[in-house]
Amino acid sequence: MNNGRGMLIIISGPSGSGKGTVVNRLCPKGADSEFAVSISVTTRAPREGEIDGANYFFRSKREFHELLSNGELLESAMFCGHYYGTPSGYVGQMLDAGKNVVLEIEVNGALQVKKKLPECALIFLLPPTIAELKRRLAGRASETAESQTDRLRRAREEIKLIDQYDYLVINDDVDEAVANIRTIVRAEKLKPLRSGFSISKWRNPDA
């Protein structure tokens, strides 16, 4: 039993935590998938291989601010010198269609969403050790040394906000991390308020 509406799942974690891989595995593409991934708007330049409308909507700062002032973003934040935001229209449509919507966003945006929609689940993803985080960041050819240092500094700041999250998932093994997230979603859906359970039907024993 559930009330037909999907749930909003937010996955945050430092660059190098493996969020992208985990989210891709959790949300296979296709109309019959129970999960839908939101595509964010960003002012950062596309990395090699990234496609507008698939990885992000790549927009100018002026276009970004227009979306923001028109109230078209559910949340927005600055990350390492670039703006990022979640288009609200798609999220609402997918939730209404009964899909579980996944946002892969940084902490400030995640906490904005939690304030607006407290029923969302905030999941923080971490690699098993700081050494592993550094190793994964250093292995990213797409990042300059300066950007890697910036992202590591940012990771240390983000980790300080971990206690505001509902769940912590360690990404040592991708399959296990994905299985843990699926377990979280199942448990969240069994919460009485979300499940569509109606106590009034149970008040009259003869009904």
CB of 32 to ligand 5GP, least distance (A): 25
What is the Cα–Cα distance from 17 to 20, expressed in whole angstroms? Answer: 9
CB of 180 to ligand 5GP, least distance (A): 19
CB of 119 to ligand 5GP, least distance (A): 19
CB of 192 to ligand 5GP, least distance (A): 31
Q: Looking at beta carbons only, is 60 or 204 nearer to ligand 5GP?
A: 60
Query: Taking each helix axis from N to C terminus, what angle separates 19-26 and 174-189, rounded to the nearest 10 degrees?
Result: 60
Q: Looking at beta carbons only, is 101 or 105 nearer to ligand 5GP?
A: 105
Residue among 87, 62, 58 nearest 73 (CA): 87
CB of 28 to ligand 5GP, least distance (A): 20
CB of 33 to ligand 5GP, least distance (A): 20
Q: Looking at beta carbons only, is 86 or 100 nearer to ligand 5GP?
A: 86
Which residues are registered as beta bridge partners of 207? none
Contacts to ligand 5GP by CB under 6 A: 15, 19, 40, 44, 75, 77, 79, 84-86, 104-106, 109
What is the Cα–Cα distance from 207 to 204, expressed in whole angstroms? Answer: 5
Q: Looking at beta carbons only, is 136 or 194 nearer to ligand 5GP?
A: 136
Those residues whose C-beta lies under 8 Å from the C-beta of residue 20, and which sit 6 or more positions away, are: 104
Token duo for residue 79? 């990350």
